[in-house]
Chains A and B, each alone.
Chain A
């Protein structure tokens, strides 16, 4: 099987997982652990994931209750050295059998560093995995990926007096796990669900795949919530959606941030946090209206990693405070948000 890239290059290796073709946007991620979490992260929808860490599959695949969603979202997987043997007390099956069950093709034995460098230099490209001649490239970003991965139903967790709405644009389960606490009712709603007439105290915007500008209805609902003065926390795509709702704009990064070692500096304290990231778009700081400021900045490339309003209870981060995969250094962001809610609604 081969990985074909838009620029005409191809990389031949051995197939594993599902025996079939795949098309998508080729991206690379540099985390050294967490393939299970990444593969089930809905933000990867429509993407062919290239892992820079060569050995993948070592600890197998655990039970679905620790996944980040119920299924695999990547379109395809590319690794250097698939480990057919695996060992872990949590493992129920091999990565290969899991990929097969979910009909996701994968490629091993290719020079993932060479592919990574190409994607870095040329920017992300469309790609496909194919045993035969390559077919047409399909750009997943033309489709509304959020609509594809967002749930169709509302789900409610807990029954506390504090009511939080989570707009699920492709939320990782760990955001839900981070919010489900005693005293909280968490209502997880589809991306375009109009929650503005429901009773709720605070709003959380999840991560999700693709271009934030596809999420017009969500932005409209956020604006309504803002007018109502509701506290808001955005994560990843949620950061971009909050920026759009606040009148700012977003842009596509050349090759995105998909790693677990991104240093982000908090503007007020100068403190640096190591964060887990998975995004291809970013907020343009120059378009932020007055009252808004940059909360976190990426120490490597200076891009916006979080925004915050000076007077209103609105804030969001581009990275993943819920981690999974990756470091847990910024888990306090959920605590701070929840603890910062006005006393009367915290009860």
Chain B
């Protein structure tokens, strides 16, 4: 084999819906596989919160936008002789194809590793794909490729409605859907053809089973299927939106192996080298099939398959791309057998998507052929019921399992409708229907879900009813319930007692879970595997407890506000623990993570992050202690209960963590320390809310502790909106108080990330937000080192931090948020844990904050001088939004977080860093035409210099009525367009749809404005036109644009910025 000398690996960029943390897992494994062969690896990925962009993994890292121009420059500079396209999702694949079509790869003698570009094209272009499969008699859905609306209409007529519409080159099924009439088709395609050139009109396969196989093939034509998976939600629901089970449950041997044979035949014929995924529709009445698609790359499904089986797909794919044969690679789990085999599972896994649509007002909660979920969990069990109930708890949405809920959100009216037209809570609708005694037959007709799954769900409801009726719970009833996945808390709810009482009873009855290994061969060969889960279907542990390990609690599912950055933190903690010679235990439930990789910890428990389960594990393992501060809010919330049950929590004492979490206690603490905070109050009735809000003065920020629907936080500008919000969105009662605090307008936000040891500040990084307060810190554009904050402010923030750190006796990571206005510096929040920005501040300052924090927690002395304020470079972190996937949502930032990921870029100047960072988050720079629409006088006046700059730069400006008048009155040229509801021409709708706009600057008055603004913003998203909705960001962007010659930005690696 002749190995390449240097490989350029393309990452996937910021996490977005349809492309999430799974590509950190695949990229990281690929880098390890290449480095093992001593090949130099250059990584291009602006996602700073990933493990793959860590120091000491790739040889050099470029935090740059994943665009043709930047990729070309990197190739020119680094001169790699090979490129890896299959580890960075659709983004990397598309960029790779672009590089190839542009002739860049050929020109610079860069060869594509693994699957050749021509083969990738065969799988991506639907027409070619169908043609290739027809050559070997493999069936695909009848489909016609169309390039115009007229062509599509003709095609649909030929196939017959309903038809399925799919756009080529899409990630996560964007722009796909079922269309039932010509009118609907025309409307939909109008949008779709704007961002894609080809649309496929297909035979509709709704109600067919959806099955996937993960296939691996080497260049010598050895070909295996590592895992098959069955979607519980049949065709019509995107696989990313489906509950998925592995292995398949309702396929007979004949069906299983027939589809397996078709998979292997197809993949061989296409000529894929490495890993890929093939999706089928399977007719439940005839066993007829259609191949839906082949993804010639690592995917979300392959990450799931990898975690489901223990087979390191990305690692193996990387090795195969170098020319290795499957027979030459070892099974890294058994270390004795070879990688050329198909794992046998002796358990099943269930993946359940995690949605966060309630964060957005008006977001459509129906699920279908487009992906909307932001994360997922994977539960392992030895019965379907066990896996299902585990998974639903893992989601961390307040569900106690499939049934017996404490939280009223899981009981709702009209559930039959949500079963027929699936929504994000269909599974809970099914629980209700089953409780109401609706038959399997009826539910199958409504949902098309296979009766097998429905009957299993029914069994859970039956056991619940037995538990309810039983006089007392004996050993057999307890075991039955536990084997069906009931948690102690669930049983307690049914029996009207406490979880602790059930736990005690259960132990008395000797109903204890056992620890089982995942060994890829169902016990056939001895395996030294560290991959574990707990189940009640067993009488014997596979392993003995470890010796004084340290356990790290992971982050659970990715959701808005808790994402890959916490996985990064957990991985750093594991690395430091290992370096400090501690054995490590990782507990996590998220298959899209690096922390759950086979080589990251000494023991991996892929299980629930619940009090019950963590106690089960700690009672078995008796670890030296548990780290709760790196996995975000889920483990943080467990600190106090764990300590209450005798578990040693390492780092800041749980009691002190709680002092920061408890609003009353923390507020008092600030008062004692003479630290300013925005005024706040807690109310239990709408009347009190009204009174106290008036005292505080509007606007106020409202935070209910119990949310009925929609977002959990809101700014109310007057009494009317306050009362309306309380009425519709929240339950206000003594059980569920609502916090109302003063919302300070035009204040700036500053963040402090740091590490302390025994109450002494060790290291800190201070960063500022570009946007003023009112934009959630997770949606803010963050700058480090601060560019506009006075040294005096920094000094004061540091002083305040020191006081709080001392008083909370912090040991470990923490994050603090400040508001700065005029001469006031107020504390708004303190989290005694790692925050979202830890990877960012670590990589920008060059000091690994988690490494320092973990050492601090372990008692290693970490005091020293760390330079974090005076840096030779500027870095900007930008939010990555996924609004195109969230139909109906208003794409403006608010106090509720809406972004799904983040990216960051370095620069020699602030402007350079800002431009690159925005581009890395998908923002395209304007070339000619800009639409400006500014709500209110203040926005207009403050943005005047910005508009003048745009005008001077020669952009053609368009503006809506008042804004146009304003711009013209200041002597600038501008085309006036009428608002949406105005009949006049030119109308803003026409302008938007004409496709001439490169940028829209639409700044709403305060947070929400009239429907007109919403329509413009929403259209901008749906028509894929870059949009800025924040005044400070608009100012910053336009200044940066005027100061930067984008095409001459030097291409510098992370190391070069640090030199």
| Residue pair A113, B348 in contact (C-beta under 8 Å) | no
Complex contacts, A300 vs chain B, CB 8 Å? 336-338, 341, 525
Q: Give the contacts of A110-135 with B (CB-CB under 8 A).
A: 110-114, 116-117, 120
For residue A263, give the distance in angstroms from its CB to the closest CB of chain B.
5
Q: Does B155 contact A (CB under 8 A)?
A: no
Of all chain B residues, which has the CB nearest A121? B526
- B681-695 CB contact bits vs A (8 Å, 1 = yes)? 000000000000000
Q: Does B803 contact A (CB under 8 A)?
A: no
Q: Does B284 contact A (CB under 8 A)?
A: yes
For residue B534, give the distance in angstroms from its CB to the closest CB of chain A.
13
Cα distance, A89 to B287, chains bound together (Å): 9
| Given A54-B347, A55-B384, residue A325 in contact with residue B338 (CB < 8 A) | no
Q: Does B832 contact A (CB under 8 A)?
A: no
| Residue pair B524, A265 in contact (C-beta under 8 Å) | no
Of all chain A residues, which has the CB nearest B222? A272
Complex contacts, B538 vs chain A, CB 8 Å? 111, 113-114
| Residue pair A87, B455 in contact (C-beta under 8 Å) | yes
Complex contacts, A327 vs chain B, CB 8 Å? 257, 260-261, 342
| Given A33-B256, A89-B287, A299-B340, residue A270 in contact with residue B220 (CB < 8 A) | yes
Cα distance, A11 to B285, chains bound together (Å): 39
Complex contacts, B674 vs chain A, CB 8 Å? none
Spot the interface stretch: B182-190, B247-255, B643-651, B1030-1038.
B247-255
Cα distance, A55 to B522, chains bound together (Å): 13
| Given A33-B256, A54-B346, A81-B383, residue A120 in contact with residue B526 (CB < 8 A) | yes
Question: DSSP class of B's interface residues: helix, strand, loop or mixed?
Answer: loop
| Given A81-B537, A112-B346, A116-B522, residue A59 in contact with residue B341 (CB < 8 A) | no
Q: Does B344 contact A (CB under 8 A)?
A: yes
Q: Does B345 contact A (CB under 8 A)?
A: yes
| Given A116-B523, A261-B341, A274-B224, residue A54 in contact with residue B537 (CB < 8 A) | yes
Interface residues on A, range: 35 or more
| Residue pair A325, B340 in contact (C-beta under 8 Å) | no
Q: Does A271 contact B (CB under 8 A)?
A: yes
- A249-284 CB contact bits vs B (8 Å, 1 = yes)? 000000000011111010000111010000000000
| Residue pair A299, B337 in contact (C-beta under 8 Å) | yes
| Given A55-B383, A117-B523, A323-B257, residue A263 in contact with residue B340 (CB < 8 A) | yes
Of all chain A residues, which has the CB nearest B283? A89
Complex contacts, B516 vs chain A, CB 8 Å? 113
- B228-267 CB contact bits vs A (8 Å, 1 = yes)? 0000000000000000000111111110110011001000
Q: Does A158 contact B (CB under 8 A)?
A: no
Please tell me which one of the listed residues A30, A37, A58, A262 contacts residue B249 in the complex, with CB atoms under 8 A apart: A58
For residue B325, give the distance in angstroms from its CB to the closest CB of chain A.
8
| Residue pair B342, A59 in contact (C-beta under 8 Å) | no
Q: Does B456 contact A (CB under 8 A)?
A: yes
| Residue pair B264, A59 in contact (C-beta under 8 Å) | no
For residue B198, give the distance in angstroms from its CB to the closest CB of chain A.
35
For residue B762, give the distance in angstroms from its CB to the closest CB of chain A.
47
Complex contacts, A54 vs chain B, CB 8 Å? 346-348, 382-383, 537
Complex contacts, A32 vs chain B, CB 8 Å? 247, 256, 344-345
Q: Does A313 contact B (CB under 8 A)?
A: no
| Residue pair A66, B254 in contact (C-beta under 8 Å) | yes
Of all chain B residues, which has the CB nearest A118? B540
Cα distance, A263 to B338, chains bound together (Å): 8
For residue B831, give the distance in angstroms from its CB to the closest CB of chain A.
41
Complex contacts, A36 vs chain B, CB 8 Å? 252-253
| Residue pair A30, B341 in contact (C-beta under 8 Å) | no
Cα distance, A315 to B41, chains bound together (Å): 48
| Given A53-B344, A54-B346, residue A299 in contact with residue B338 (CB < 8 A) | yes
For residue B611, give the distance in angstroms from its CB to the closest CB of chain A.
26
- A39-61 CB contact bits vs B (8 Å, 1 = yes)? 00000000000001111001100
Q: Does A88 contact B (CB under 8 A)?
A: yes
Q: Give the contacts of B923-968 with A (CB-CB under 8 A).
A: none
For residue B340, give the distance in angstroms from its CB to the closest CB of chain A.
4
Cα distance, A87 to B457, chains bound together (Å): 14
Interface residues on B, range: 35 or more
| Residue pair B253, A120 in contact (C-beta under 8 Å) | no
For residue A220, give the distance in angstroms from its CB to the closest CB of chain B.
36
| Residue pair A30, B522 in contact (C-beta under 8 Å) | yes
Cα distance, A274 to B542, chains bound together (Å): 28
- B504-528 CB contact bits vs A (8 Å, 1 = yes)? 0000000000101000011111100
Q: Does A328 contact B (CB under 8 A)?
A: yes
Complex contacts, B337 vs chain A, CB 8 Å? 263, 299-300
Q: Does A326 contact B (CB under 8 A)?
A: yes
How many contacts between A and B, using CB within 8 angstroms? 167
| Residue pair A58, B452 in contact (C-beta under 8 Å) | yes
- B451-491 CB contact bits vs A (8 Å, 1 = yes)? 11001100100000000000000000000000000000000
Q: Give the contacts of B350-403 with A (CB-CB under 8 A).
A: 382-384
Complex contacts, B451 vs chain A, CB 8 Å? 85, 87
Cα distance, A182 to B573, chains bound together (Å): 67
| Residue pair B452, A85 in contact (C-beta under 8 Å) | yes
Of all chain A residues, which has the CB nearest B258? A328
Q: Give the contacts of A290-347 with B (CB-CB under 8 A).
A: 299-300, 323-329
- B118-134 CB contact bits vs A (8 Å, 1 = yes)? 00000000000000000
Q: Give the contacts of B253-303 with A (CB-CB under 8 A).
A: 253-254, 256-257, 260-261, 264, 284-287
| Residue pair A270, B253 in contact (C-beta under 8 Å) | no
Complex contacts, B523 vs chain A, CB 8 Å? 28, 30, 52, 113, 116-117, 120
Complex contacts, B220 vs chain A, CB 8 Å? 270-271
Cα distance, A338 to B337, chains bound together (Å): 33
Q: Does B985 contact A (CB under 8 A)?
A: no
For residue A44, give the distance in angstroms from its CB to the closest CB of chain B.
15
Cα distance, A210 to B540, chains bound together (Å): 31
| Residue pair B526, A261 in contact (C-beta under 8 Å) | no
- B1013-1047 CB contact bits vs A (8 Å, 1 = yes)? 00000000000000000000000000000000000
Please tell me which one of the listed residues B252, B526, B537 contacts residue A80 in the complex, with CB atoms under 8 A apart: B537
For residue A83, give the distance in angstroms from its CB to the closest CB of chain B.
8
| Residue pair B524, A299 in contact (C-beta under 8 Å) | no
Complex contacts, B285 vs chain A, CB 8 Å? 89
For residue A50, give the distance in angstroms from its CB to the closest CB of chain B.
10
Q: Does B24 contact A (CB under 8 A)?
A: no
Q: Does A198 contact B (CB under 8 A)?
A: no
Q: Does B418 contact A (CB under 8 A)?
A: no
Cα distance, A124 to B168, chains bound together (Å): 54
| Given A52-B346, A274-B342, residue A325 in contact with residue B249 (CB < 8 A) | no
For residue A239, give the distance in angstroms from its CB to the closest CB of chain B.
20
For residue B824, give the distance in angstroms from its CB to the closest CB of chain A.
62
The CB with the most chain A CB atoms within 10 A, among B338, B524, B539, is that of: B524
Q: Give the contacts of B303-337 with A (CB-CB under 8 A).
A: 325-327, 336-337
Cα distance, A272 to B222, chains bound together (Å): 6
Of all chain B residues, which has the CB nearest A262? B341
| Residue pair B346, A59 in contact (C-beta under 8 Å) | no
Mark B residues whose CB is within 8 Å of A: 220-222, 224, 247-254, 256-257, 260-261, 264, 284-287, 325-327, 336-338, 340-348, 382-384, 450-452, 455-456, 459, 514, 516, 521-526, 537-540, 542
- Enumerate the 5 nearest inter-chain pairs by beta-carbon distance, A residue then B residue, closest first: A34-B253, A85-B455, A87-B452, A52-B522, A30-B344
Mark A residues whose CB is within 8 Å of B: 11, 28, 30-34, 36-37, 52-55, 58-59, 62, 66, 80-81, 83, 85-90, 109-114, 116-117, 120, 259-263, 265, 270-272, 274, 299-300, 323-329
19 contacts between A and B (CB under 8 A): A31-B344, A33-B251, A33-B256, A54-B348, A55-B384, A59-B251, A87-B250, A113-B346, A120-B526, A261-B342, A263-B337, A263-B338, A263-B340, A270-B325, A272-B222, A272-B338, A274-B224, A324-B254, A329-B261
Besides A300-B525, A328-B261, 16 other CB < 8 A contacts?
A30-B523, A52-B344, A52-B523, A53-B247, A53-B344, A54-B382, A58-B250, A59-B452, A87-B451, A111-B514, A259-B344, A263-B340, A270-B325, A271-B221, A272-B340, A300-B338
